[in-house]
Amino acid sequence: MPSFPTTVTWEVTYRCNLRCVHCYSESGPPREEIGLNRCQLILEDLGKARVFKIVFGGGEPFSRHDFLDLLEYAHTVTPVTLVICTNGYYITGESAKRLKHIGARVQVSVDGGNEQTHDAFRGKGSFEQAIRATSILRSTGIPVSWSTTLWSRAAKEIEEVAAMAQKLGVFRCTFRQLFPVGRAAQGYSQLLLEPSAWDEAKSKLKDCQTSYGSSPTIEFETIMDQVMGIQKHPNPSPAGVQHCVITPEGYLLPCQYLRGQEFIIGNLMTDSFIDVWKTSSVLARFRNPSAAWTCKDCMSNCSS
């Protein structure tokens, strides 16, 4: 099966100023991460591999003092699309200007339709910072999208999230299901939507799609429907075929949710991205049409 690394998700740090209850990378205190010099070599490699889009996340990527330098280097070595996922805390007028200069797009996490719901999930003061960041970025002319995790309270506030997003000029709201990985695995049952709440949420999301059209566009993931057999599984999964993940310590994985040792394809502290992408036996398994990986396999084997 032909494979092209169109999108690479790069978790540049485990550091984070927040301790969100659902964080799949269990971010917070500093842990091992790749230094700027090695990051620059990796970016050159990604450019040579003609990666189309790099999505930077973490942890909170702006917790790295050299994160903007890293982005600016990416902009000089490759015409790749740069997308940054952030909680918004460290966005300032100055950083927004630098992001605008390199043509970056930013995704801000907003996990509820009001301060009480969002802060219950992400911590006190975090809603105000997410809204503040969105306003600064928009006033600088940067395209901003929002990512909302559909936990039990946020699922009741879908219309409020969409209305706020429209008011602030957000171009897209992506609503994601909660995934039982990392810290989310610990409190999963209380946060998870009951099947009837999920049906209700889908109905609200469809209504919002119709009423908001493209301002903002409303997207939602349907992994749970795939697991429950309501929707067909993507087969093969894009994991390892068009997409892969770099962890803060340099491991290359096929998907951010497949974090076991058996899924480590290589380590970019020492290996070249292109060599690993072309020769990995783990990836060969993902690309074999008769044994291709699906989201269902992922969920049912998830041990986190």
The contact set with ligand SF4 (CB under 6 A) reads 16, 18-20, 23, 25, 27, 58-60, 87, 122
Comparison of 23 and 181: residue with beta carbon closer to ligand SF4: 23
Comparison of 22 and 287: residue with beta carbon closer to ligand SF4: 22
Comparison of 122 and 233: residue with beta carbon closer to ligand SF4: 122
CA dist 141 and 100 (Å) reads: 7
Comparison of 78 and 177: residue with beta carbon closer to ligand SF4: 177
In angstroms, what is the minimal distance from the CB of 87 to ligand SF4? 4
In angstroms, what is the minimal distance from the CB of 287 to ligand SF4? 30
Comparison of 25 and 247: residue with beta carbon closer to ligand SF4: 25
Comparison of 57 and 216: residue with beta carbon closer to ligand SF4: 57
**What residue has token string 């060969």?**
284
Give the pairing type, strands 251-253 and 243-246: antiparallel
CA dist 29 and 185 (Å) reads: 19
In angstroms, what is the minimal distance from the CB of 198 to ligand SF4? 21
Distant-in-sequence, close-in-space partners of 200: CB < 8 Å, separation ≥ 6: 155
In angstroms, what is the minimal distance from the CB of 18 to ligand SF4? 4
Comparison of 22 and 172: residue with beta carbon closer to ligand SF4: 22
